[in-house]
């Protein structure tokens, strides 16, 4: 094995000697970052406006809101694995553009149907299911395309920029979503999401850097064999496996919370939509601060050690998300949400960068697809669990289940070689 191979397998990359200009001065990465910023801003608005459309415009029950959230992530379970193998055979950027255009059309249909007086909960189900299918292809292609634009030893820097942008847009987008819903109605706020995808597609079209051709020797291999290779790589890797398990547990738990919070805020506590927007915006601030801190903490302590130490530190506070109520309890829950999402911001940078660093180019699509199937499948399960608990127990019970899950999701990392910073 060459030195480069050893470096890749360990997840360690050696920066090139001499000063290097900021990635923000690179036109290709800057356009990719702009596309991500615009689309995520719209997505943050839509993630609040869509369930509020179901609750306020269509008077949906807790079970229907849970089903809506589950359908938005179900596509990863249905087609996620073959999508990764297909994307390894294709250029990534055209896939991303096509997915953006499809999502713009789908979300644009919601305010159009509402204006015509024909919007139904079944249309919302269909929109989120089909948009989720487009998101499967977009997300896998985007994470696989980043190493084409950025050297591997700069992936952490690139992902830090993307995670920071994501956090900022969550703050602005969810706050705006709450106010736009209160000002214009929830279906009208969904239109912002549709426009954002059009803007993202335009930015991606302006990237001029040639994209590498798909590896020719993949042709002729069976799709099932390629899928199995991706699965073996992810679940056979001693460091990737605990990362994926911990992330899956975290996703399931946070989805339970996010699915039930609109129900608790609007139906149980009778708080205004703007209060829900500000609460979710607090989470965006937490992700922003965590993404800013991730590189420095990982450099000092080692990525694996940071992940479980932060989990241990956050656990006693994060569980208090479930005490949300009117008065002081609202501020206490907001603080708990801020602390919890601070850890999410750290995870977003460290985990994604590590996965990209240790994966050979030939397996990037399948690795990303396998991981996204597990993580997004966890979101689908979390949404379904939230709906069931909210319907047959209570929304508050579901919120407590999610909060306790968030407090314990880091345990797979503690029980792995990552606990000692072995990846360094």
What is the SS3 assignment for 133-175? HHHHHHHHHHHHHHHHHCCHHHHHHHHHHHHHHHHHHHHHHHH
pLDDT of residue 278: 80
Task: Judge contact between 391 and 62, C-beta under 8 A.
Answer: yes
Read off the pLDDT of residues 116-136 as tens digits, 9 standing for 90 and up. 999 999 999 999 999 988 988
Instruction: Give the Å distances, CA to CA, from 166 to 15, 27, 144, 292, 294.
Output: 26, 19, 18, 12, 14
Residue 57: how many other CB atoms lie within 10 Å = 16
Segment-wise mean pLDDT, segments of 10 residues, the chain, 424 residues:
36 44 80 85 79 86 83 80 80 91 94 92 93 86 80 75 72 67 80 89 88 60 78 87 89 89 86 80 82 81 79 84 88 91 85 79 78 82 87 89 88 80 51
- Superfamily holding 23-212+223-420: MFS general substrate transporter like domains (1.20.1250.20)
Answer for the pair 195, 39: CB distance below 8 angstroms, yes or no: no
Distance separating alpha carbons of residues 72 and 135, to the nearest angstrom: 9
Sign of the alpha-carbon dihedral angle for 2, 211, 105, 195: positive
- Give the pLDDT score at 12: 36
Region of residue 368 (left: phi > 0; alpha: psi -120 to 50; beta: else): alpha
Per-residue pLDDT tens digits for 157-181: 787 778 777 767 766 666 666 677 7
Domain ranges of the chain: 23-212+223-420
What lies within 8 Å, CB to CB, of 220 at 6+ separation is none
Identify the pLDDT of residue 216.
Answer: 55
The pairs formed by 149-153 with CB atoms below 8 angstroms and a separation of 24 or more are 149/26, 149/28, 149/29, 149/32, 149/209, 150/23, 150/26, 150/29, 151/16, 152/8, 152/13, 152/356, 152/357, 153/13, 153/14, 153/15, 153/16
As a residue count, the chain comes to 424
- Cβ partners under 8 Å of residue 363, min gap 6: 88, 229, 230, 233
User: Are the CB atoms for 47 and 343 separated by under 8 Å?
Assistant: no
Tell me 219's DSSP state.
Answer: T
């Amino acid at each position: 094995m060459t030195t480069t191979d050893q470096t890749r397998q360990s997840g360690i990359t050696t920066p090139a000697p001499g000063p290097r200009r900021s990635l923000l001065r690179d036109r290709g990465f800057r356009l990719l970052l702009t596309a991500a910023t615009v689309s995520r801003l719209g997505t943050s608005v839509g993630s609040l406006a869509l369930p509020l459309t179901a609750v306020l415009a269509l008077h949906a029950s807790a079970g229907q809101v849970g089903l809506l959230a589950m359908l938005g992530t179900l596509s990863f379970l249905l087609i996620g694995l073959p999508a990764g193998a297909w994307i390894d055979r294709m250029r990534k950027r055209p896939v991303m553009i096509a997915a953006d255009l499809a999502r713009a059309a789908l979300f644009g249909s919601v305010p159009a149907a509402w204006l015509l007086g024909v919007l139904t909960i079944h249309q919302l189900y269909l929109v989120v299911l089909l948009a989720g299918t487009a998101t499967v292809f977009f997300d896998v292609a985007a994470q696989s395309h980043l190493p084409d634009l950025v050297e591997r030893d700069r992936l952490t820097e690139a992902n830090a920029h993307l995670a920071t942008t994501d956090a900022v847009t969550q703050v602005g987008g969810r706050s705006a979503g709450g106010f736009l819903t209160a000002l214009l109605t929830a279906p009208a706020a969904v239109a912002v999401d549709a426009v954002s995808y059009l803007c993202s597609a335009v930015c991606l079209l302006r990237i001029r850097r040639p994209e590498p051709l798909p590896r020719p020797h993949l042709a002729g291999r069976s799709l099932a064999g390629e899928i199995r290779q991706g699965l073996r790589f992810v679940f056979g890797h001693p460091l990737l496996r605990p990362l994926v398990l911990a992330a899956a547990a975290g996703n399931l738990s946070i989805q339970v919370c996010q699915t039930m919070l609109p129900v608790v805020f609007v139906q149980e506590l009778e708080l205004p939509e703007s209060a829900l927007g500000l609460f979710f915006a607090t989470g965006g601030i937490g992700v922003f601060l965590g993404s800013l801190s991730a590189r420095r903490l990982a450099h000092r302590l080692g990525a694996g050690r940071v992940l479980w130490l932060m989990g241990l530190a956050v656990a006693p506070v994060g569980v208090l998300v479930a005490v949300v109520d009117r008065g002081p309890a609202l501020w206490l829950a907001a603080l708990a949400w801020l602390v919890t999402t601070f850890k999410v911001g750290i995870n977003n940078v460290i985990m994604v960068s590590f996965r990209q660093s240790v994966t050979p180019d030939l397996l990037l699509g399948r690795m990303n697809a396998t991981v996204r199937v597990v993580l997004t499948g966890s979101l689908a399960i979390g949404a379904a669990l939230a709906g069931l608990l909210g319907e047959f127990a209570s929304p508050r019970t579901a919120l407590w289940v999610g909060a306790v899950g968030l407090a314990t999701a880091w345990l797979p990392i503690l029980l792995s070689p990552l606990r000692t910073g072995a990846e360094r």
